[in-house]
């Protein structure tokens, strides 16, 4: 009686085909997973900050009445920290005179605050606001804006624009509140603006007249993800 079976050559050929298909599809699957994790964690930290701010407003009046002359950590301790949820740990930042402590969520996302005070107030409408620097995977690399690092702001008042010295951070702010870097800016500019665009390289040359200035390439990715409905689109520089 003859027993039907595969030859060794047929098995090896099949395994080879499976290996080729896996090699072609695995990077795509990994990329999709990484994008999903990025958006999910960014959405979570945005929710945590929004919720804390909403509770703070109930106890401290509207944001426009908050004390933006406080230091970075004092501001956090008074208005944000008492209302934070899902916090796993709190550690000191290396530069405690400038930045707040580092707050870590249970999923590994970290963030810290910085009170920005413009050294050239004559150039801008509003000269002071509070920044949140978010890293969705903590100290793990690449530590790059638009990949694992993102920026949100508490703006203290309605304004035509906010500017931190590396291009406009946001336009046409309707009221005091929490906003992503790039709020109010059209999608094409969010992608390609030389200073902060999501598709701009950190190695790109700054605009004429600003030679020697560093770029904040990728900062607008925060707003771009939200504009696209909390997803990373195909034209996103991933």
Tens digit of each residue's pLDDT (9 = 90 or more) over 69-108: 999 999 999 999 999 999 999 998 877 668 999 999 999 9
More confident residue, 208 or 138: 138
Task: Please give the pLDDT value at position 94.
Answer: 76
Any alpha helices (H) in the chain, and if so which ranges? Answer: 8-60, 72-75, 187-192, 221-227
Q: In the predicted model, what is the mean pLDDT of residues 184-204? A: 91
124-166 pLDDT, tens digit each: 555 789 999 999 999 899 999 999 999 999 999 999 989 877 8
Task: Please give the pLDDT value at position 237.
Answer: 82
Kindly state the DSSP code that residue 77 receives in the 8-state scheme: I
Kindly state the DSSP code that residue 182 receives in the 8-state scheme: T
- For the record, the structure tokens of 69 come out as 């002359």
β-strands 102-105, 168-173 pairing: unpaired
């Amino acid at each position: 009686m003859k027993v039907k079976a595969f030859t060794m050559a047929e098995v090896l050929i099949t395994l080879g085909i499976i290996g080729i298909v896996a090699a072609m599809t695995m990077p795509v699957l990994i990329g999709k997973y990484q994008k999903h994790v990025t958006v999910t964690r960014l959405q979570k930290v945005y929710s945590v900050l929004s919720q804390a701010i909403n509770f703070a407003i109930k106890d401290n009046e509207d944001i426009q009445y908050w004390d933006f002359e406080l230091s970075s950590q004092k501001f956090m301790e008074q208005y944000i920290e008492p209302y934070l949820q899902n916090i796993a740990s709190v550690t000191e930042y290396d530069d405690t005179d400038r930045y707040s402590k580092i707050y870590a969520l249970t999923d590994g996302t970290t963030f810290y605050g910085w009170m920005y005070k413009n050294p050239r107030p004559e150039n801008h409408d509003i000269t002071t606001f509070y920044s949140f620097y978010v890293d969705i995977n903590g100290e793990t690399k690449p530590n790059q804006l638009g990949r694992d690092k993102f920026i949100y702001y508490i703006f203290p008042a309605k304004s035509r624009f906010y500017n931190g010295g590396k291009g406009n951070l946001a336009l046409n702010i309707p009221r005091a509140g929490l906003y992503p870097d790039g709020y109010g800016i059209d999608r094409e500019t969010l992608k390609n603006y030389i200073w902060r665009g999501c598709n701009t390289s950190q190695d790109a040359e700054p605009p004429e007249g600003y030679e020697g200035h560093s770029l904040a390439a990728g900062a607008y990715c925060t707003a771009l993800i939200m504009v696209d409905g909390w997803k990373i689109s195909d034209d996103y520089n991933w």
